[in-house]
Amino acid sequence: MSGSATPSSAMLYFSGATAALLMFQLGYHLGELNGLACVGTVDPVAVPDPNEPGFLGMSVCLPMPRIAYSLANGALALAGAAGALWAGRACDQYGRVRTMQLLNVPLIAAALVMTFAVNYPMLFVGRLLAGLGTGGGSVLTPIYLSEVSPNAKRGFLGVFSVLGLGSGLFVTSLIPFLFPAPQMWRLMTFCSLFFAVLQLALLTVVPETPVHLKATGRVDEAKAVMRKMTWSDAEIAQATDVESAKPSKDATAAPKEAVSLGEFLTAGKHRKSLLVLVMSHATQQLSGINAFFSFSFSILMLIFPTAYATSLFYVCFNAYYVLLQFIPGNLLERYGRRPLMLVSIFSMAFFAALFTVADKALHQPYVQLVGFVGAVTVFSFGLSSIPFILTAEVVEPAAVGVASQVSLAVNNLSNFVILVAFPPLLDAIGSYTFLILAGYLVAMGVVALRILPETKGKTPAEVVAELRETAAKA
């Protein structure tokens, strides 16, 4: 085992990075409309002729009111909920890798439809297609990362999800900075085609997860994958014990003991796990984090005097956010999930409130900047990755698929609320919007203090047993 540790670790990280490309595409699509021309006051660059030929001969401008722009942003999350529900079932039926391949089909179509959109409805349809793919990807990526990881590396590999998300946001800030002409927003949508095709190619050499292989009776294949992924002999023996290794009659079907959606939502034994997942995923999005990125230009224009200064800071800030993602993996294994989650929630509430106070009471734009950067920084230490990691850690393996469906449906619907509601609120009450976010975070922090378990160093079965024991005592 020791002699093959280096190449095996390379395969583990390569497979994790390939799966995380779906999260990269989520981050990319979250930020791709920041430079869209002719949207209310979102783009300060004057467009002299909306019909002037632009990128690939298409028109520069797709005129739309601000609310339509908000809905186009929100469409990604709305369709993402549907994509999450489908992917949670499909990953059991078709396998994790095949489902990831299928999710890239609507992503390829989205890139083409948006790039060649001649009107708002086409753009909206493209955003819906992108949402189907990225919503499903937000289910599949954490499942895949959790199921291929040995226990010692599960926390570190789990951070690949948010590392991919942050990298996608960084690229969407860099492209309009390098190509600021209004018509180049279509270059942004066109480039997303490359990332979907790239992932399709890489997925041809990425192995299926041991969990799915074992569930479909391919135990020897599961053991081979575990060895490639640096699992210890003890972990392999435990994961492929005789009772759990019995092959199913139909190797292509989901395991018979898989928990149904109705059972997971209604059975008392799953209630505590359900509450933990709903709380963590809703809080991740209703914290307003995607508003910080999707509407960053509007927010930062409250602080910086020029569009160029805003764009430059946004590029640097996104690079900083990507670098931040290398820190939580080590923190997770050292301090655990619960402490980091609680610190992240309460600290983000503080910085969101600081943003409002700095604007309305102190009238200090650079203190506002501290609030903006501070909120995103503390988000990355807990809220960014822990909800995804918990999805596979607070339920038994038979419920992972349905738990992912529910979690990501909640996640995407919460994101939809933020993306649609944030711009009108920002226009109506300005920085007081962040005070609302702060109040919500404090309330959810109090809830988390009561129900959030620690999962570090424990198997899902141990965590589930603890949750059910505390629920029985309540």
Backbone dihedral angles phi then psi of residue 405, each to the nearest 5 degrees:
-55, -50
Least confident of 118-122, 183-187, 196-200: 183-187
CATH number, domain at 323?
Answer: 1.20.1250.20
pLDDT, tens only, 426-446: 778 888 889 999 999 999 999
> Same domain, yes or no, for 149 and 78?
yes
Look at residues 181, 206, 231 and tell me which one is the last residue of a structural domain. 206
Q: Tens digits of per-residue pLDDT, 42-58? A: 443 444 455 555 666 67
- Tell me if 3 is assigned to some domain: no
d(CA 227, CA 221): 10
Q: Are residues 192 and 303 located together in one domain of the fold?
A: no
Residues 193 and 80 in one domain: yes
State pTM to two decimals.
Answer: 0.75
Domain range for 192: 9-206
* pLDDT tens digits, 199-245: 999 999 999 988 888 888 888 888 888 888 877 777 777 777 744 44
pLDDT bucket at 292, cuts 50 / 70 / 90:
confident
Distance (Å, whole) CA 285 – CA 464: 25
> Pick from 291, 313, 303, 298: which is nearest to 355 by CA?
303
Beta bridge partners of 59: 53
**pLDDT score of 123:** 92
pLDDT digits (tens, 9 = 90+) for 49-105: 555 556 666 777 777 787 888 888 889 888 988 888 888 788 888 999 999 999 999
pLDDT mean over 267-286: 92
Q: How many domains does the chain have?
A: 2
Is 231 domain-assigned? no
Q: Report yes or no on 242 lying in a domain.
A: no
Give residue 48's pLDDT: 42
* Residue 158 sits in the same domain as residue 285: no
Cβ–Cβ under 8 Å, residues 47 and 190 = no
Domain membership flag for residue 4: no
Considering 166, 187, 206, which residue would you say is the last residue of a domain?
A: 206
**More reliable by pLDDT, 24 or 39:** 24
Residues 165 and 279 in one domain: no
Q: Which of 185, 206, 227 lies at the terminal end of a domain, its last residue?
A: 206
326 phi and psi angles, rounded to 5 deg: -80, -15
Copy the structure tokens of residue 148: 């291929």
